[in-house]
Amino acid sequence: MLEQLEKILENRTTVKYFDGNPIPEHITELIKKSVAQTPSCNNRYNFKVKILGQSLEHRRAKLGLYEYVCTVSDKEVHYSDDNTDLMVSRSPRSVSEAHSWRDQKILRTQINGQTLAPLLFVWYFDDGDPIDNDYLDVGLSCWNSIITAESLGVQSGFCGCFDNDCLKEYLDIKGSPVVMVGFGFANETESNEHKHPDKPRPQWDQIIS
Ligand SMILES: Cc1cc2nc3c(=O)[nH]c(=O)nc-3n(C[C@H](O)[C@H](O)[C@H](O)COP(=O)(O)O)c2cc1C
């Protein structure tokens, strides 16, 4: 058991390319169940999870995430209409902004293939007024679903690369999105060290004092 957990933690990495094979239904059910098998401060559970699966409608929605929503500008753009002095590279605030960037050839698209995973979970707050602990609760729920999936032979990929308002509007979410995780069978993986050669993951003794 302990050996299995160590192996899962050792091997898990954020996967961006899945082979497209669907996840068997009984495994999907266990991953779904795991989102609520974590503690929540004061049992608030102030979050919901929207799931996109393999229906035609959902596959179209995931393609839009891949092409337009979970993207960034290729050059610095105005932070906002109110603050035109500050220039940043950021995700589009709406799909029409993404279209305009595409037309200007400044949209860095197709960078988050995890949004095309056969199963995509989107955690969000539906009360619109989260407290700090609610974010921790989402982190726990999210991580539990990842560990559950990995222990069942399913890989996962985080995606936080989106503008909240853009994703909210695009998926018609009644609340505020926090993070997405795609689940599926990895087509290719890239280790943490490979992704961040100049910024390695710390050892435990660099964190614990
Ligand atoms: C909350 C969160 C959001 C993330 N969002 C993205 C993302 O949008 N795109 C991406 O490629 N990786 C994303 N990642 C992956 C991290 O960049 C990645 O986990 C980090 O490089 C560590 O790599 P590993 O998961 O392979 O160990 C995210 C990770 C976390 C925890």
Atom 22 (ligand 1): residue with closest C-alpha? Answer: 192
Tell me how far the alpha carbon of residue 59 lies from the centroid of ligand 1, in angstroms: 22
Asked if residues 68 and 174 have their Cβ atoms less than 8 Å apart, the reply is no
Residue-number span of the structural domain to which 24 is assigned: 7-55+113-186
Instruction: Tell me the best of 10, 14, 164 to mutate to test the pocket of ligand 1, counting ligand atoms within 8 Å of each CB and taking the most.
Output: 14
Ligand 1 pocket residue status of 115, Cβ below 6 Å: no
Closest CA to 113 of 74, 67, 148: 67
Structural domain count, the chain: 2
Atom 10 (ligand 1): residue with closest C-alpha? Answer: 159
Ligand 1 pocket residue status of 72, Cβ below 6 Å: no
Atom 14 (ligand 1): residue with closest C-alpha? Answer: 158
Q: What does the pLDDT read at residue 127?
A: 82
Ligand 1 pocket residue status of 158, Cβ below 6 Å: yes
Q: Is residue 195 part of a domain?
A: no
- Per-residue model confidence as pLDDT tens digits over 65-113: 999 999 999 999 999 877 778 999 999 999 999 999 999 999 999 999 9
Q: What are phi and psi of 181, to 5 degrees?
A: -135, 130
Q: Is residue 207 part of a domain?
A: no
Q: Are residues 141 and 101 in the same domain?
A: no
Q: Are residues 80 and 176 in the same domain?
A: no
Q: Is residue 208 part of a domain?
A: no
Q: Are residues 182 and 146 in the same domain?
A: yes
Q: Are residues 71 and 99 in the same domain?
A: yes
Ligand 1 pocket residue status of 111, Cβ below 6 Å: no
**Residue appearing with tokens 């169940």:** 33
Closest CA to 59 of 189, 184, 173: 184
Q: Are residues 101 and 127 in the same domain?
A: no
Q: Are residues 143 and 47 in the same domain?
A: yes
C-alpha 34 chain-centroid distance: 16
Q: What are phi and psi of 93, to 5 degrees?
A: -85, -10
Q: What does the pLDDT read at residue 114?
A: 97
C-alpha 147 chain-centroid distance: 15
Q: Is residue 205 part of a domain?
A: no
Tell me which amino acid residue 91 is: S
Q: Are residues 78 and 175 in the same domain?
A: no
Q: Is residue 43 part of a domain?
A: yes
Tell me how far the alpha carbon of residue 128 lies from the centroid of ligand 1, in angstroms: 25
Give the CATH number, domain containing residue 12: 3.40.109.10
Q: Are residues 29 and 48 in the same domain?
A: yes
- C-alpha 43/C-alpha 179 separation (Å) is 21
Q: What is the mean pLDDT of residues 179-202?
A: 94
- pLDDT band of 170, cuts 50, 70, 90: very high
Count of helix runs (H) and strand runs (E) in the chain: 7, 10
Tell me how far the alpha carbon of residue 70 lies from the centroid of ligand 1, in angstroms: 13
**DSSP β-bridge partners for residue 49:** 123
Q: State the average pLDDT for the chain.
A: 95
Q: Name the pTM for this structure.
A: 0.96
Q: Are residues 175 and 76 in the same domain?
A: no
Q: What does the pLDDT read at residue 2?
A: 80
- Per-residue model confidence as pLDDT tens digits over 11-21: 999 999 999 89
